[in-house]
Amino acid sequence: MRLVFLYSELMPDRVAVFRMLVKLYAAEVHVVYWDHHGRKTPYTMDAIDGVTLYKRSEYGFARIYQLLGTVNPDAIYVVGWMDHTYLPEL
């Protein structure tokens, strides 16, 4: 199972979810996260086998779209409306 999370800030509770997805479902987890914009906490995630992190500052819409084509995820989780790059105009 391949999953992509288009996320805002990484927090410990979400990291626990990523760990469980990898452990229970052998999931391949890809997370685009805010590394600058809107950050309110200094938390940084340690490396986890099965989880690949992508800094949002390096990924605009075109690059995210390319990532989705490369990963070909089974599901995509979008954090919400706060990052309009995650929500292209159709």
pLDDT higher than threshold 60 for residue 81: yes
Q: Are 4 and 72 in contact (CB under 8 A)?
A: no
Residue spans of alpha helices (H) in 2-60: 12-25
| Residue 31 DSSP SS3 | strand
Count Cα neighbours of 71 within 13 Å in the Cβ-side half-sphere: 25
The answer for residues whose C-beta is within 8 angstroms of residue 50's C-beta and 6 or more apart is: 22, 26, 27, 28, 29
> 6-55: per-residue pLDDT in tens?
988 888 888 899 999 999 999 999 999 988 765 566 667 778 899 999 99
Q: What's the predicted TM-score (pTM) here?
A: 0.88
